[in-house]
Structure 1
Amino acid sequence: MAPSASKLYFAVQDVVIQMLIYKLKKRMARKKKRWWVRGWVARRHLGAVQLISELADEDPESYTNYFRTSEDCFNFLLDKVSDKITKQDTTCRAALTPKIKLQITLRFLATGNSLKSLSYEFRVAPCSISKFLPDVLIAIYEALKDYIQVPNTEECWREIMDGFNDKCNFPMCGGAIDGKHVQIRCPAHSGSDYYNYKGTFSIVLLAVCDSELKFRYINVGHYGRASDGGVFARSNFKKKLEEMSLNAPEGMVLLGDQAFPLTDYLMTPYSRRLNLSKKQKIFNYRLCRARRTVENAFGVLVSKFRILEKPIALLPETVDKIIKTCCVLHNWLKTRSSTYIEPGLIDEENSETGDLVEGSWRTIAQNSFRPLGNFSGNHSRNAHRIREHYTDYFVGQGRLEWQDRMIY
């Protein structure tokens, strides 16, 4: 080997050795992890877990307020979802139990606390919560989805119609419909899809409610920029109504506000921009009185599940799961518990004066949901005639019975 080549060889070799020594020293100097699991996280039996046990034994009312469900209901739900959310232990650590996963999820829905706050409360890492949360939401919805069912028999529809007739004095009403914007944080790379006319980002919840404040139909997931009546226009519910595949009694109507089109099966109020007659004002009052049920249902939903009270900082697909789960929990708890709705929570009328006494939910949820905007479109002549028929009936000048076809 030539002297110059030999010198170059040894120079390169020296550089390589120095680099290896530098990397070795850097690796040795690297700060070692102080723990595999933080000490306070390992003591999971303390904190919220201990508090929950004390509430269950000493204060059932506070337990219900903590989770929005009684201990019996919690155990029932846990039995339904355990198999779907159970994970196997590994050689490194024990898997989180289904019980603590369900506890964290219900507390998250009840409060809307950040994952970091829940981490400190339950001593579970935020990354772990973010991973299991969607799975638990899906499991809850799948376990309880039968509590939200669109009526598909004439008997079911007539039961709902009886409820509206008895409680709201609005005959032949098969439900009140409304849509609200659930606010979210602006999703990455979403453009203007979720940007609504109120200047916020949202996902639309469309719902049909009965007189018992239970949701009979929900449609979740449309972009906030969706046109006002467009969500309903594109829904399967509207399609089935028009195809008459839901076995609804002939002449049955839904009640909506001016965000929806006036049709043969959907009554909306007379526009306040017109110079309304006395009997038209009476019709608007009666429709508003009956349609208040869906507003109350939304209000109770937000007052019980505070996650809906402020913009949700999660992926849109996770927000969809949250909304659906809150709705199905609302129906389930309304069915299971007679104390789910506390006195004064919803709007009521003074029996002596007839004045409206607003429920406390209006203070809690006034900024939580954004209403849909007004719908503009051409209404059929028959729809106008049906509304006029109702108007005459409410002022004692007409006759309205189930067997009436209301087609002229």
Structure 2
Amino acid sequence: MGGFLRQANYISSLQKTGLPTPEGLEGCSMQIPYFFAGDSAFALSENLMKPYTGDIPKGTPQRIFNYRLSRGRRIVENAFGISSAVFRVFRKPKLLEPEKAEWVIMTVILLHNYLRKHSPNIYTPFGTLDYEVNGNLTEGSWRNEGDMTCMVPIRNIPRRPTNYCTKVRDEIANYFINNGALEWQDQYA
């Protein structure tokens, strides 16, 4: 009965977030939930994956998972950082009703995507975004803007993840070294 209630609560929470229901990955033994990529400040949960902690040996599934997760997070950091640098509305608190704040955010996202597609050399000239050359990361110029957001830093509070969340992360890590492997990931992870 407990498993059924947990599943019902999980489906209810997914409907609130708008995330699709879990799906199988090729070669995985369980359904993998859609998730957000977080850093170590967040708690590992069904829909938020965070890196493994500690000094992890090179070439291990955990190290490759951390590398692949950080690459995904970097894309989001670039998009948000550039949007904050250009659309300064993100640099101060918004005293708006949630619906109006959502309109502002969606408008900035649409403008950002439009400019990236139609005027990439003007909106984000070379060097604006983070980029890698032979595994060496060069940070984009947007990172030199100083404090660009009104976001309050999240305190790192130790939280013990459920066995299920740990198993999901381990399953994704194994997928990254088997069916989901990229030919160059071992050079950098």
Q: Tell me the TM-score normalised to structure 2 length.
A: 0.62
Q: Specify the alignment match of 1:89 in structure 2.
A: none
* Cα gap change, 1:284 to 1:327, in 2 (>3 Å): same
Q: Aligned match of 2:95 in 316, 320, 328?
A: 316
* Cα gap change, 1:372 to 1:247, in 2 (>3 Å): same
* Cα gap change, 1:317 to 1:307, in 2 (>3 Å): closer
CA distance in 1, matches of 2:173, 2:144: 33
Q: Specify the alignment match of 1:347 in structure 2.
A: 130
Structure possessing the higher radius of gyration over alpha carbons = 1
Q: Specify the alignment match of 2:13 in structure 1.
A: 239
Cα distance, 1:333 vs structure 2:
3.1
Q: Aligned match of 2:42 in 249, 260, 266?
A: 260
CA distance in 2, matches of 1:343, 1:384: 39
Q: What amino acid is the match of 1:281?
A: R
Matched, 1:356 2:137: yes
8 A contact 1:299–1:346 mirrored in 2? no
8 A contact 1:258–1:374 mirrored in 2? yes
CA distance in 2, matches of 1:286, 1:245: 21
Deviations 1:317-339 (A, max 9, x none): 28936555433422343344444
8 A contact 1:253–1:267 mirrored in 2? no
Between Structure 1 and Structure 2, how many residues are aligned? Answer: 154
Gaps spanning 5+ residues in structure 1: where? Answer: 1-237, 402-408
Q: What amino acid is the match of 2:14?
A: K
CA distance in 1, matches of 2:105, 2:75: 19
Q: Specify the alignment match of 2:56 in structure 1.
A: 276
Cα distance, 1:375 vs structure 2:
5.0
> Residues 107-186 of structure 1 correspond to what in structure 2 (within 5 A)?
none
Q: Specify the alignment match of 2:75 in structure 1.
A: 293
Question: Residue 316 of structure 1 aligns to a residue in which SS?
Answer: coil
* Range with greater deviation from structure 2 (279-288 or 324-333): 324-333
Q: What amino acid is the match of 2:63?
A: K
* Cα gap change, 1:327 to 1:373, in 2 (>3 Å): farther
Q: CA RMSD in A?
A: 3.4
* Cα gap change, 1:265 to 1:322, in 2 (>3 Å): closer
Gaps spanning 5+ residues in structure 2: where? Answer: 1-11, 25-31, 182-189
Q: Tell me the TM-score normalised to structure 1 length.
A: 0.32
Matched, 1:367 2:147: yes
Matched, 1:377 2:159: yes
Q: Specify the alignment match of 2:173 in structure 1.
A: 391
CA distance in 1, matches of 2:73, 2:154: 15
* Cα gap change, 1:243 to 1:285, in 2 (>3 Å): closer
Q: What amino acid is the match of 1:384?
A: T
Q: What amino acid is the match of 2:38?
A: G
> Residues 41-120 of structure 1 correspond to what in structure 2 (within 5 A)?
none
8 A contact 2:81–2:142 mirrored in 1? yes
CA distance in 1, matches of 2:141, 2:19: 39
Cα distance, 1:300 vs structure 2:
1.1
Question: Residue 258 of structure 1 aligns to a residue in which SS?
Answer: coil
Deviations 1:70-128 (A, max 9, x none): xxxxxxxxxxxxxxxxxxxxxxxxxxxxxxxxxxxxxxxxxxxxxxxxxxxxxxxxxxx
> Residues 9-24 of structure 1 correspond to what in structure 2 (within 5 A)?
none
Cα distance, 1:289 vs structure 2:
1.5
Q: Specify the alignment match of 2:7 in structure 1.
A: none
8 A contact 1:258–1:375 mirrored in 2? no
Percent identical: 33
Pick 1 or 2: higher relative contact order, CA cutoff 8 A, min separation 6.
2
Question: Residue 253 of structure 1 aligns to a residue in which SS?
Answer: coil
